Amino acid sequence: MSRKSSIYSDLSGQGMLKEYFTIKAHSSAIDDYYADEIVTSDRSIYYVNGNDNNKVFRINLDGGDRKQVVSSSTGWLNCYRGLLFYSNKSDNDRLYV
């Protein structure tokens, strides 16, 4: 039996959800790290990497071009109008953009 999970996001800003990609059971993973606080923007996925002191990484939707984008330990993150907001654990959980 094939199970699947999908990631949806509203790129239009009009409340219309679009399916970005589907992850099927037994398919290849797009990243081998513990991911928390996952958000999408444009054609990228941002996530807090639990295996690397909660730093923020970005990958393409296909799993390519993985880059660290925040070097501080991060509590949560969100993306709004192309800006990445996050709480910086290294600075008393202050809000950063």
In this prediction, residue 92 carries a pLDDT of 92
Structural domains of the chain, count: 1
Question: Mean pLDDT across the stretch 21-26?
Answer: 45
Express as a percent the part of the chain with pLDDT over 90. Answer: 25
Please check the confidence at residue 89 and state whether its pLDDT lies above 50.
Answer: yes
Domain that holds residue 70: 33-97
DSSP assignment of the chain equals ---EEEEEE-SSSSS--EEEEEEETTSPPS--S-EEEEEEETTEEEEEETTTTTEEEEEETTS-S-EEEE-S-EEEEEEETTEEEEEEGGGTTEEE-
pLDDT value at position 23?
44
Q: Which amino acid is at 97?
A: V
For residue 93, tell me if it sits in a domain: yes
So what's the pLDDT on residue 70?
Answer: 94
Kindly state whether residue 4 falls inside one of the protein's structural domains: no
What's 3-24 look like in SS3? CEEEEEECCCCCCCCEEEEEEE
Q: Kindly state whether residue 41 falls inside one of the protein's structural domains.
A: yes
Q: What is the pLDDT of residue 26?
A: 43
Q: pLDDT tens across 12-23, in order?
A: 555 554 544 444
